Amino acid sequence: MVERVGHAMGMPIRIAVPDGIAGAALDDAFAWLRFVDATFSTYDPGSEISRLNRGELPRGAAHPVVREVLDRCAALRTATGGAFDAGAPLPGAIDPSGLVKGWAVERAAGRLEAGGARRFLIDAGGDVVLRGGGWRVGIRHPRRRDRLAAVLALDDGAVATSGAYERGPHIVDPATGRPAAGALSVTVVGPELGTADGYATAAFAMGARGPAWTARLADHAAMTILPGDRVLATPGFVGLCAGPSIAGSLCGGRTAGRSLSRRSAR
Quick check: helix, strand or coil at residue 136?
strand
Q: Does residue 133 lie in a domain region? A: yes
Within-domain flag for 260:
no
> What is the DSSP-derived secondary structure letter of residue 234?
-
Axis crossing angle, helix 97-114 with helix 23-40, rounded to the nearest 10: 160
CB 86 within 8 A of CB 95: yes
Residue 259 in any domain: the answer is no
Residue 264 lies in a domain: no
* Helices and strands (H and E) in the chain: how many: 8, 12
Domain residues for 140? Answer: 2-253
CA dihedral sign of residues 187, 141, 208, 181: negative
Per-residue pLDDT of the chain (266 residues; tens, 9 = 90+): 999 999 999 999 999 999 989 899 999 999 999 999 999 999 999 999 999 999 999 999 999 999 999 999 999 999 999 999 998 666 678 999 999 999 999 999 999 999 999 999 999 999 999 999 899 999 988 888 788 899 999 999 999 999 876 655 668 888 888 888 899 999 999 999 999 999 999 999 999 999 999 999 999 999 999 998 899 999 999 999 987 556 555 533 333 334 443 323 32
Q: How many other C-beta atoms are found inside a 10 Å radius of the C-beta of residue 204?
A: 28
pTM comes to 0.90
CATH code for position 185 = 3.10.520.10
Nearest alpha carbon to residue 214 among 177, 262, 148, 162 = 262
Number of domains in the chain: 1
Would you call 13 helix, strand, or coil by DSSP?
A: strand
